[in-house]
Amino acid sequence: MIPPASAIRKRLRLRHLQLMVALSEMESLRRAADELAMTQPAATKALQELEDTLGVSLFVRHARGMEPTIFGEAVMRYARVVFEDLDELREELAGIEAGDIGKVRIGAVMAPSPELLTQTIVRLKQAHPRLQMTVTIDTSDVLVQSLQQDQLDIVIGRIPDSFPAFDLSFETLAEEALSIVVRPDHPAAQASSRPKLAELARYPWIIQPHPSPMRQVIDQTFRESRVAPPVSTVETSSILTTLSLLRDSDMLAVLPSSVAHYYVALDAIASLATPLRGRLAPYGLILRRNRRVTPAMQLVIDSIRAG
């Protein structure tokens, strides 16, 4: 039986978590003990103490060595997060000592990039020049997984239906429409009337990979329109790759309308009037519930909420 959290906090030691991280990397108690400059009996004792503290078996012992149980895999994952947080703490303290105000790792889907995200970054850099920000643009499934693995601090996106989200909070920010786009001189862009989906399906399409929400909308559009999907496709979530392929081919792509409008204004692409039947769920601000919000993170969160 798993003991109360208060009991675990009293008995858990940092060396227990260090041993779990070493075991996840070395996959051997002897090598893990060597890595931590411990004797093997001391490592065995520490592992037994940890199992007693948590009330579960963390490893299955057999002739070939040790294999983590589902409990062991969970403890190793959280142990890595603890030390990643300690690394970030050290960086934050060093930054404060040097006069910085911290670092924030932001992940976002494409839609908020041209306006919300850009305005947020510009506004914050003007007010706080030494605030360090890194930005990753990807699909929601990739971003949410990175957030849960403590590789990102803040995500602007969606929580995919298939993801366990008990440790995440979601705050709606905006809706997102989608547009079919081509190069400006594409034959479909020269047509006087709205091209039909069946006509467009004859061209190669650039689409996002599964299980991104945008891909689900594209699949839904062809399914509900009773049109066979294009047989020639390229899967990518890279906007640069998408724009390059559009420029040099007759391919079509689907982009968030906010992104499409931005590049249409630059005369880089043309937007077709052909509608997509499906509609994306609103995107929003996603945070980890059990993660302490740093002052630097709070600045970014407040700026995003202000729009």
Looking at the predicted structure, is the pLDDT value of residue 272 above 80? yes
Domain 100-175+282-306 falls in which CATH fold?
D-Maltodextrin-Binding Protein; domain 2 (3.40.190)
Helix (H) or strand (E) holding 283: strand 283-288
Question: How confident is residue 100, by pLDDT bands cut at 50, 70 and 90?
Answer: low
Taking only the tens place, the pLDDT of each residue in 231-264 is: 999 999 888 999 999 999 999 999 988 889 999 9
DSSP string, 143-161: HHHHHHTTS-SEEEE---T
pLDDT for 129 equals 86
- Compare 15 and 165 and report the one with higher pLDDT: 15
Residue corresponding to tokens 């769920």: 281
Same fold, 5-81 and 178-271: no
The overall average pLDDT reported for the chain is 89
Which structure tokens are listed for 189?
Answer: 């862009």
pLDDT for 110 equals 85
pLDDT for 57 equals 92
Region 265-269: what's the mean pLDDT?
Answer: 93
The domain ranges of the chain are 5-81, 100-175+282-306, 178-271
- Compare 55 and 216 and report the one with higher pLDDT: 55
Helix (H) or strand (E) holding 87: helix 70-97
Question: How confident is residue 271, by pLDDT bands cut at 50, 70 and 90?
Answer: very high
What share of the chain in percent tops pLDDT 70? 97
Residue corresponding to tokens 């005369």: 267
178-271: CATH number: 3.40.190.10
Question: How confident is residue 135, by pLDDT bands cut at 50, 70 and 90?
Answer: very high
**What's the predicted TM-score (pTM) here?**
0.59
Taking only the tens place, the pLDDT of each residue in 1-32 is: 889 989 999 999 999 999 999 998 888 888 99
Region 190-206: what's the mean pLDDT?
Answer: 87
Region 180-204: what's the mean pLDDT?
Answer: 89
Q: How far apart, in whole angstroms, are the C-alpha atoms of residue 202 and residue 205?
A: 9
pLDDT for 99 equals 60
Which structure tokens are listed for 295?
Answer: 């002052």
pLDDT for 98 equals 65
Looking at the predicted structure, is the pLDDT value of residue 70 above 80? yes
Region 160-177: what's the mean pLDDT?
Answer: 86
Distances (CA, A) of 7 to 18, 57, 161, 292: 20, 17, 35, 22
Looking at the predicted structure, is the pLDDT value of residue 128 above 70? yes
Looking at the predicted structure, is the pLDDT value of residue 92 above 80? no
* DSSP code at position 39: -
104: three-class secondary structure by DSSP: strand
Question: How confident is residue 193, by pLDDT bands cut at 50, 70 and 90?
Answer: confident
Question: Which CATH number among 1.10.3210.10, 1.10.10.10, 3.10.290.10, 3.90.850.10 corresponds to the domain 5-81?
Answer: 1.10.10.10
